[in-house]
Structure 1
Amino acid sequence: MENKKQSGFSKVLNESVFPAIMKFVNTKAITALKDGIVYSMPFIIIGSIFLILNNIPIPAVSAAITASGWGAIFNQAYTASFAIMSVWAAVGIAYVYARNEKVEALPAGLTSLATFILIQSLSIANPLVAAMGKTGTGVSNAAGKVVWTGTQLANYIDKAPKAVQAFMSQDVTGVINLTWLGGQGMIGAIVVGLLVGWTYTAMMKRGWQIKLPEQVPANVAGQFSAMIPAGIILTVAMVVYGLLSKFANTNAMQLIYTWLQTPLQGVSDSLGGALIIAFMVPFFWFFGVHGGMIMGAITGGLLIPNTADNAALTAAHKLTLANGAHIVTNEFYNNFINLTGSGITIGLVIFTLFFAKSVQLKSIGKIEAVPAIFNINEPFLFGLPLVMNPWLAVPFFLTPVVVALTTYLVIWSGIVPPLNGVAAPWTTPPIVSGFLIGGWKMAVWQAIVLVESALIYFPFAKKYDSYLLAEEAKNAAEEVKA
């Protein structure tokens, strides 16, 4: 009866639920989002190196780097790579969308970039305003030492003529605001990238382009072909910017951030959000569907901005939950929920190497031992297998949930600091990745997570091993009789 129920449940999932999910994941928009946002990853990882150099977790070394002026140089490199991740996303998403539609892709990506910049307010608040007064930040030197307090600065400014004071306190115009180029602009970049990719390819496919004679070189003709779609898109973006600026005193990036990104990031950064993500990855895998790919595509656009926000706080030496640091980031997903592979199967590796008695578990354990160090566990997923294996379903589902719960709580309670925004590649070995993304305390916690996995998997793996051992003995006896 139980098998029939399980069979019926599996049939519903495989025939109704999963096809609908996969249809959604494989839509043009989600494919462009998933593959386009990857273009930002090299810059995020490279920028993470400079972020680490500017925030060495040894106070004396960190102070020496800051005093030498190299801290500002490292921060410049971080800003030009990691801190403008939304630029790479805006270009990459539109590029992939056009490429998949067999349209010349680079002009679409560049049009997306121009649109992304156009809908922003090209100004920043005057730094003097924030620096002046009793609560002002004052003026600091390259080493971060305040050389003029906010009160002193205000007293000097007050002595200048009114016209000069007004000029010095005006917003700085004619600049690109870095705020929207980083994590805060990610959802805006996704929206722009998808809309530009879709409209650009639609116009190109309908022939809305300037066609030059065959004698004109292809590289020149291609640029003229892009003029009409790009011109229409930028004109529409200009009208949107103008209307919002004139009648609402805001811009599209601010609206997207307030109405869309902030609520979604709040959900993704909650305990409930972390537990759902942790459960859904092995749930999909159990039925043979790539849970990491599905959940990565769905959550990446939210968790990567969380990472960027934490990186910005780290760069400013203000990484605390009180200052708005996130608990659940893309590194929480990669280096905890998927530590040593989906299902956090390191506990199963330990059992197969040191405690298993069946030939099947011992053999597959030797194959998986090295890949597990680099967070790859396909040999277990399909070779053990974990897919559709009721013996190991409970620890496979439970371990990521327990790890997500306990990791969330130790960060929330202050036992370990928030993740610092460093983007360690997902193949970075455990403990090493913990140190990179959160210092020695996070490395220690990652080691504890490995122990959690071992404790949860052990009793279930032992029962499964006993079952396999009995089956192997039975098969051996039948072979002898034959």
Structure 2
Amino acid sequence: MNSFMDKLSEKIMPLANWLGQNRYLTVLRDAFMLSFPLTMFGSIVVVINNLPFFSDDLKGNLGNLFGNGQNATMSIMSVFVTFGIGYYLSKSYDVEGIFGGAVSFASFLILTPFFITLESGETISGVLSLDRLGAKGMFIGMIAAFLAAEIYCRITKRGWQIKMPDGVPPAVTKSFAALIPAVCTLTIFLFINAAVTGFFNTNLHDVIYEVIQQPLTGLGSSLPATLIALFFVQFLWFFGLHGQIIVNSVMDPIWNTLMLDNLEAYQAGKELPHIITKPFMETFTVGLGGSGMTLAVVLIMAFFLKKKQYKDVGRLALAPGLFNVNEPVIFGLPIVLNASILIPWVLAPIVVTTINYLVMAAGIVPPPTGVSVPWTVPIIASGVLATNSWLGGLLQVIDFIIVALIWFPFLKIMDKQADVNI
């Protein structure tokens, strides 16, 4: 068994390390984290404005008074992500990040239609639609930001800059140094937009949305794709690699887009289009004790196992586990490279996620509304906040029991084996 694990580790580790250290995936992760405080604020506003015991009239009045808290944050997430991509990618090339971010954002806006078409067919020009800056514009925003930042950095690295004499204030020097790379980059995007608009009478937003974003989000919202992603999270953690960061760097753009779709539908009073979203993954997987849903494992170790070493690890990991921080149990049990508990470690999240999906698909429990709940919010509270229903908290309790039932026999066997080894 150990020989098999060693060989498997040799095959998996290089790929996992490449994913974890890849420049573009790292930049994408950091760009989404840039928007995290803002989306948290927007989520709090949405939760307060739509508490389940409020009347529809009160919700409407609160929306009119405080709705901009959401409009200026979650609804325009593509703005922050595009700026973040430009900023962090430029920094990774040792180029001034603030100008890279500004150029990437401006390039995205150049490709964005400055008009909206009403249901009556009337076109209003000189305005930006919120959906272009939110869910619908997410993928074109990421593509434009990466391309713009790459072009800007390559031109900068070639030395095509206006150099100012000594004594000129640094802010002025940096602005002039960025002038030629910025003009060249923005000119390229201006011609791209002109070509698409002039020759094809459309815009890249709609092209990317139809050709790339819709198929990808459709795939990412499916149960099979979600279970595959979860499997790799657990499998990479087993080898001591942070599976959550590695897998999420690939899946987050899809899950966040699905989240924004749900939020828009929820705000409009429409049926929620997706079950799998970022809040679903955070609340009903990580929200049960961290990666692998280990809160139940910690409680079993602390109060139901006999060996002192396991009891101590369980009690030590209990407090952080309540806030979904589970490194103490992952490395203290340990879960890493512990073949005797590989089965429950991989199986429990897959079983629970499947049950959650089916329960929500059947309409028994409402899916997450699109409100972003911090992953550190304890069990039950996070479920209620994510779904705006007490049924979300109840489902987490049921999940907790299922995880405990899956893990319990394996932990008891491990406990007995410790006695034999002694």
TM tier relative to shorter chain: over 0.9
Match of 1:420, SS state, is coil
Structure 2 unaligned spans of 5+: none
The counterpart of 2:19, out of the listed 24, 31, 35, is 24
C-alpha distance in 1 between matches for 2:293 and 2:32: 25
The residue type equivalent to 1:50 in the other structure is V
Aligned AA for 1:48? S
Instruction: Tell me the equivalent position of 2:51.
Output: 56
Q: Tell me how far 1:425 sits from its aligned partner.
A: 0.7
Match of 1:105 among 97, 100, 110: 97
Secondary structure of the residue aligned to 2:270 is coil
What TM-score do the two structures reach when normalised by structure 2? Answer: 0.96
Matches of 1:192 and 1:113, distance apart in 2: 8
Q: 2:397 aligns with which of 444, 447, 463?
A: 447
How far apart are 1:231 and its partner, in Å? 0.7
> What residue is the counterpart of 1:220 in the other structure?
172
1:360-403 C-alpha deviation (Å, 9 max, x unpaired): 11110110111111111111111110011122111100010011
* C-alpha RMSD of matched pairs (Å): 1.4
Within 5 Å, which residues of 2 pair with 1:80-479? 80-126=72-118, 129=120, 170-320=122-272, 325-338=273-286, 339-438=288-387, 439-471=389-421, 474=422
Please report how far the alpha carbon of residue 337 of structure 1 lies from its aligned counterpart in structure 2 after TM superposition. 2.3
1:72 and 2:64 equivalent? yes
User: d(CA) in 2 for partners of 1:467 and 1:17?
Assistant: 29
Cα distance per residue 1:188-240 (max 9 Å; x no partner): 12112211221111111110111111121111010111111111111111111
Counterpart residue identity of residue 85, structure 2: I
Partner of 2:39: 44
Q: 1:320-359 deviations in whole A, cap 9, x for unaligned?
A: 3xxxx11111112112222311111122112112211011
For the residues of structure 2 that align with 1:273 and 1:108, how far apart are their CA atoms? 34
Q: CA deviation at 1:279?
A: 1.3
Counterpart contact for 2:220–2:255, Cα < 8 Å: yes
Matches of 2:342 and 2:146, distance apart in 1: 38
The letter of the residue matching 2:285 is I
Q: Which amino acid aligns with 1:465?
A: D
Verify the 8 A CA contact 1:75 1:315 in the aligned structure 2: no
CA distance in 2, matches of 1:199, 1:13: 39
Residue 33 (str. 1) matches residue 28 (str. 2): yes
Amino acid in structure 1 at the alignment position of 2:98: L
Distance 1:437 1:244 in 2: 40
The SS at the match of 2:284 is: helix
Please state whether the residue corresponding to 1:392 is helix, strand or coil: helix
Which residue is equivalent to 1:149?
Answer: none
Q: Secondary structure at the match of 2:306?
A: coil
Sequence identity percentage:
36
Partner of 2:5: 10
CA distance in 2 between partners of 1:195 and 1:81 (Å): 24
CA offset at residue 59 of structure 1? Answer: 4.5
> Deviation string for 1:13-72 (max 9, x for gaps)?
332332123213312211111112211111111000111122111243x43242xx3322
Larger radius of gyration: 1
Gaps of 5+ in 1: 130-168, 475-482
Q: Answer whether contact 1:112 1:192 (CA < 8 A) is retained.
A: yes
Is this contact kept in 1: 2:16–2:236, CA < 8 A?
Answer: no
Cα offsets for 1:125-179 (capped at 9, x unmatched): 135x1xxxxxxxxxxxxxxxxxxxxxxxxxxxxxxxxxxxxxxx63010111211
Q: Which moved more, 1:448-457 or 1:69-78?
A: 69-78
Shift of the alpha carbon at 1:85? 0.3
Task: From the superposition, tell whether residues 347 and 65 of structure 1 become closer, same or farther in structure 2 (CA, over 3 Å).
Answer: closer
Separation of aligned partners in 2, 1:28 and 1:390:
32
CA distance in 1, matches of 2:20, 2:309: 35
Tell me the matched-pair count: 420
Partners in 2 of 1:263 and 1:175 — Cα distance? Answer: 28
Tell me, what secondary structure is at the counterpart of 1:172? strand
Q: What TM-score do the two structures reach when normalised by structure 1? A: 0.85
State how far apart, in whole Å, the 1-side matches of 2:411 and 2:162 are.
66
- Which residue type is aligned with residue 202 of structure 1? R
